[in-house]
Amino acid sequence: MSYAVKELFLTLQGEGFHAGRRAVFVRFAGCNLWSGREEDRATAICKFCDTDFVGMDGGGGARFADAGALAAAVVEAWGQGAERRFVVLTGGEPMLQVDDAIVHALHDAGFTIAIESNGTLPVHPGIDWVCISPKAGSEVVQRSGDELKLVWPQPGTDVAEIERWDFRHFLVQPLDDAAGQANWDAATAFAMERPKWRLSLQTHKLLGLR
């Protein structure tokens, strides 16, 4: 199978449990909860997306003909050294494209594989670190994993229900939109009220990283 990749780059994981860790990011094109077109945002299931995932025209983006070609690009982006190789599959929604072939190719290249998914599709069982970020109004089928990352505030979210899902870590991340400080305050209050949860900040935005 070929893979449509918007962009591919080396950075530090900015969010969540692994914040601060060196990682190659593969941003797959396309999502099942929004077309990515601004004119569709108001009627999309997921309305707050901060990411351009349309097309293959970002830095390092391309149509990769097969898993070998995509894994080779990830190896090249990582650069020298085989130690602690870490790749984050994101998007768009990566589970629209992630398959056995790319999981095997990345493992063969020595990478630990993390995924950022909205959880509406089952995550590939070979992924080493599963981060699910539920979206109100969608049906989350992937209710287990390593990290549950809830963007907050998010009207229509059943927090008590999410807390029953089988995740090792529960994180709450401020919604990045025009409300700014009010969302920081809401996410901070959320974590202060619930000891099960910890705060995740989008540190790459603070640092000016990609």
Ligand X SMILES: Nc1nc2[nH]cc(C(=O)O)c2c(=O)[nH]1
Ligand Y SMILES: C[S@@+](CC[C@H](N)C(=O)[O-])C[C@H]1O[C@@H](n2cnc3c(N)ncnc32)[C@H](O)[C@@H]1O
Per the annotation, where are the binding residues for S-adenosyl-L-methionine? 48-50, 92, 133-135, 173-176
Is 204 considered catalytic here? yes
**Count, residues near ligand X per rule CB under 6 A:** 12
Could you tell me which of 11, 25, 108, 8 has the C-alpha nearest to residue 67?
A: 108
Whole-angstrom distance, CA of residue 55 vs CA of residue 5: 8
204 binds ligand X, rule: CB under 6 A: yes
Binding residue for ligand X, selected from 11, 32, 35, 112, defined by CB under 6 A: 11
185 binds ligand Y, rule: CB under 6 A: no
132 within 8 A of 149, measured Cβ to Cβ: yes
Residues annotated in a binding site for Mg(2+): 51
Binding residue for ligand Y, selected from 146, 173, 190, 197, defined by CB under 6 A: 173
Q: Which stretch binds ligand X (CB under 6 A): 5-13, 38-46, 60-68, 163-171?
A: 5-13
Binding site for ligand SF4 (CB under 6 A): 31, 33-34, 46, 49, 51, 53, 91-93, 118, 135
Could you tell me which of 160, 155, 145, 161 has the C-alpha nearest to residue 186?
A: 155
Q: Which of residues 107-166 bind ligand Y (CB under 6 A)?
A: 116-118, 133, 149, 151
Q: One of 9, 11, 17, 51 is an active-site residue; which one?
A: 51
Neighbour-count burial of 203, counting CB atoms closer than 10 A to its CB (0-12 exposed, 13-18 middle, 19+ buried): middle
Binding residue for ligand X, selected from 3, 4, 5, 14, defined by CB under 6 A: 14
93 binds ligand X, rule: CB under 6 A: no
Pairing state between β 144-152 and 129-132: parallel
78 within 8 A of 97, measured Cβ to Cβ: no
Is 46 considered catalytic here? yes
Q: SS3 for 64-132, per residue? A: ECCHHHHHHHHHHHHCCCCCCCEEEEECCCHHHCCCHHHHHHHHHCCCEEEEEECCCCCCCCCCCEEEE
Q: Which stretch binds ligand X (CB under 6 A): 10-18, 67-75, 153-161, 187-195?
A: 10-18
